[in-house]
């Protein structure tokens, strides 16, 4: 494995949820420890299952992994760290400021930026505590900070004054208000991250266009701030031998090879390792030891065992949606779960039934809209350009909020406007112009904002409060987009996930976030399910069996209603293939 050659003291694994970075980090820790090194494995992933992987309880303390001599583990709970961080900032003003102001501050501190910064606050101590680090040959981190967070930490120390002066509706600067006292520690941590002799960043991706694009963006973002010592792992590649056993396996293999052939140029020059897809869950030492070994055997192919997946289909959900005749349908989920495709599938199925539908997306990959444009009666399609909308929003904020700022204050505001929240707000404002159509037809919306962004909009008066203030004074009747999203008679939110541990955990957090914003998800959709097909490949059959427990968790714990969508042999592009996604599921094999 190239990423393990001459491994430095610090190794960071980063990548989108569900690509396998936790498993690879754990397997790396085992490999190094069994080679005679003392290793500390640290997780800062909100969906961390390091303890589950090893079958022990870890938590926020350094714990000996008894089954692996010289291996120690620590789980930094980012949610607990974020709550302590919020309490530290909000505590002094609680009872002194009006309750509405305090709630606004709490909402500014409720998003992903706060969680990431609070986690960084915790693990920078590990990077800078020489007494601690000297006790280990390697410290392996599951999840690295983003370039955005590091850039924020590199900015001048002007956060508190900037915020107190009310110069910005901060999405990320608010969380930074509590960091000033540890400025020297962060400077040392960033220095350690940028030192290739001490630190190696490993980008983890799957052989899918979306995750490879994300890895390329991460690579460029980190390289631009000096973190250039990077490696790439492409995880979960279907072995070529499986492709001859099953049409679905052949289709997956061909699709993955095509994605690798079209890999972004930025990744081609990186040292790269390919890891084959495993048929087993990566839990327990035996499984983890096999992860970094090519050609691990497939035990218990279970070719004759039935796959007992009995789940509603997407068609069942569309039946219920169609009875209303019109409304807003929002598909939400983490990147890479297929919400753009499912939004198109819902739209074409409604249009097939003769119902008027407007499908709108902000996905930069516009192939679906190009395929659908003008190709189906009752369906109109629009694509919002997130880059253009974000640039328009940034210019407006800088024109209004930034006009009287000095150079330092303007630099802070400009960096804050690079936050992921900025794009969500900008795109949502563009979506808002379309939402009003839902009173007369179906509007199917892809790439919707998170609950945190919606609450931030509400708390800062960016949209809902502003409209309410103006129209309340006139005694006018009105409905803002926020009110429409909270009305289950007008809006149905579908959360899209995969039948894998990390995506399900992330979807559950998204649901909690939406509920905090007063939005109750209507259904969950489990996409790309192998268990919803009839695979003959031994490896795919084992993968299908592993999905069943996650489907059961969604059905019994998380979702009020749900559906499963099978993984198709062909890419679901074009009306005919999209309609297949809404077809009733086959009977169990």
Q: Cα–Cα distance between 488 and 510 in angstroms, integer?
A: 17
pLDDT in tens, 486-544: 888 899 999 999 998 878 888 998 898 889 888 899 999 999 999 998 888 899 998 99
Give the distance from CA 216 to its chain's centroid: 16
The CA-based angle 255-256-260, given to 5 degrees, is 120
The pLDDT of residue 307 is 66
Tell me if residue 561 falls in helix, strand or coil.
coil
The pLDDT of residue 492 is 95
The pLDDT of residue 230 is 92
Q: What is the DSSP letter of 330?
A: E
- Report how far apart, in Å, the C-alpha atoms of 525 and of each of 176, 257, 314, 493, 494 are: 36, 27, 7, 10, 7
**11 within 8 A of 200, measured Cβ to Cβ:** yes
Please identify which of the residues 15, 17, 18, 402 carries the catalytic annotation. 18
Question: What is the reported pTM?
Answer: 0.76
Query: What sign results for the dihedral spanned by CA atoms 565, 569, 574, 576?
Result: negative
The pLDDT of residue 408 is 73
- Residue 565: both structure tokens together: 């969508």
From the list 131, 133, 227, 123, the residue with the least C-alpha distance to 185 is 123
Which residues have a Cβ under 8 Å from the Cβ of 263 and sit 6 or more positions away? 212
Please identify which of the residues 14, 22, 218, 501 carries the catalytic annotation. 22
Q: Cα–Cα distance between 577 and 372 in angstroms, integer?
A: 11
The pLDDT of residue 468 is 58
Please identify which of the residues 502, 529, 533, 537 carries the catalytic annotation. 502
22 is catalytic: yes
- In the chain, the domains with their CATH numbers are 2-291 (3.40.50.300), 314-581 (3.40.50.300)
Please identify which of the residues 14, 16, 23, 114 carries the catalytic annotation. 23
Q: How many CB atoms lie within 10 A of CB 154?
A: 13
The pLDDT of residue 166 is 47
382 is catalytic: no
Please identify which of the residues 17, 20, 111, 168 carries the catalytic annotation. 20
21 is catalytic: yes
The pLDDT of residue 364 is 58
226 is catalytic: no
Q: Cα–Cα distance between 418 and 183 in angstroms, integer?
A: 21
45 is catalytic: yes
Please list the ranges in the chain whose pLDDT falls under 50. Answer: 156-164, 166-170, 300-302, 366, 460-463, 589
**Phi (first) and psi of residue 573, to 5 degrees:** -120, 130
Q: Cα–Cα distance between 49 and 18 in angstroms, integer?
A: 12
Q: Cα–Cα distance between 165 and 177 in angstroms, integer?
A: 13
From the list 409, 481, 478, the residue with the least C-alpha distance to 443 is 481
**542 within 8 A of 245, measured Cβ to Cβ:** no
Please identify which of the residues 15, 16, 45, 340 carries the catalytic annotation. 45
Which residues have a Cβ under 8 Å from the Cβ of 509 and sit 6 or more positions away? 46, 47
Length of the chain: 589
Q: Cα–Cα distance between 405 and 173 in angstroms, integer?
A: 15
- Report how far apart, in Å, the C-alpha atoms of 309 and of each of 210, 248, 562 are: 28, 18, 13
The pLDDT of residue 454 is 66
The pLDDT of residue 106 is 72
């Amino acid at each position: 494995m190239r990423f393990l050659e001459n491994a430095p003291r610090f190794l960071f694994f980063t990548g989108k949820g569900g690509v396998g970075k936790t498993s690879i980090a754990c397997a790396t820790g085992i490999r190094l420890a069994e080679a005679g090194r003392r290793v500390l494995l640290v997780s800062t992933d909100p969906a961390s299952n390091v303890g589950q992987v090893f079958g022990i309880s870890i938590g926020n303390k350094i714990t000996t992994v008894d089954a692996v001599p010289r291996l120690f583990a620590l789980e930094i709970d980012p949610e607990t760290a974020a709550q302590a961080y919020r309490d530290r900032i909000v505590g002094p003003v609680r009872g002194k400021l009006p309750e509405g102001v305090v709630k606004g501050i709490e909402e500014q501190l409720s998003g992903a930026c706060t969680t990431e910064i609070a986690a960084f606050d915790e693990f920078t101590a590990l990077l800078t505590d020489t007494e601690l680090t000297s006790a280990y040959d390697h410290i392996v981190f599951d999840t690295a900070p983003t370039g955005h967070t590091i850039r924020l930490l590199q900015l001048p120390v002007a956060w508190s004054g900037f915020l107190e002066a009310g110069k910005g509706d901060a999405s990320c600067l608010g969380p930074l208000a509590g960091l000033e006292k540890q400025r020297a520690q962060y400077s040392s941590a960033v220095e350690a991250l940028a030192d290739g002799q001490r630190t190696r960043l490993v980008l983890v991706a799957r052989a899918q266009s979306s995750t490879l694009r994300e890895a390329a963006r991460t690579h460029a973002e980190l390289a631009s701030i000096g973190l250039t010592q990077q490696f790439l792992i492409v995880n979960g590649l279907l072995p070529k031998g499986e492709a001859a056993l099953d049409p679905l396996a052949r289709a997956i293999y061909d699709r993955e090879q095509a994605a690798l052939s079209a890999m972004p140029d930025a990744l081609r020059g990186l040292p790269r390792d390919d890891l084959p897809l495993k048929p087993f869950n990566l839990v327990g030492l035996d499984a983890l030891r096999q992860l970094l070994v090519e050609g691990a055997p497939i035990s218990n192919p279970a070719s004759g065992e039935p796959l007992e997946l009995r789940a509603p289909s997407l068609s069942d959900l569309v039946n219920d949606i169609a009875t209303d005749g019109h409304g807003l349908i929002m598909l939400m989920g983490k990147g890479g779960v297929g919400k753009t495709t499912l939004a198109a599938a819902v739209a074409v199925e409604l249009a097939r039934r003769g119902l008027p539908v407007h499908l709108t997306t902000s996905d930069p990959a516009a192939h679906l809209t190009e395929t659908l444009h003008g190709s189906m009666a009752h369906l109109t399609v629009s694509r919002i350009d997130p880059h253009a909308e974000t640039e328009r929003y940034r210019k407006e904020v800088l024109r209004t909020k930034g006009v009287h700022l000095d150079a330092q204050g303007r630099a802070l505001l400009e960096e804050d406007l690079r936050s992921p929240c900025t794009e969500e707000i900008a795109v949502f404002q563009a979506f808002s112009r379309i939402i009003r159509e839902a009173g007369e037809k179906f509007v199917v919306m892809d790439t919707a904002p998170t609950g945190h962004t919606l609450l931030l909009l509400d708390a800062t008066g960016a949209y809902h409060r502003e409209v309410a203030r103006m129209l309340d004074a006139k005694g006018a009747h009105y409905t803002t987009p926020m009110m429409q999203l909270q009305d289950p008679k007008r809006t149905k939110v579908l959360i899209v996930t995969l039948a894998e541990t990390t995506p399900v955990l992330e979807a559950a957090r998204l649901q909690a976030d939406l509920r905090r914003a007063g939005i109750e998800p209507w259904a969950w959709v489990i996409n790309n399910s192998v268990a919803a097909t009839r695979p003959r490949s031994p490896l795919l059959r084992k993968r299908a069996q592993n999905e069943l427990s996650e489907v059961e968790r969604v059905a019994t714990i998380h979702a009020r209603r749900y559906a499963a969508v099978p993984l198709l042999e062909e890419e679901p592009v074009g009306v005919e293939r999209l309609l297949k996604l809404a077809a009733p599921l086959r009977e169990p094999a």
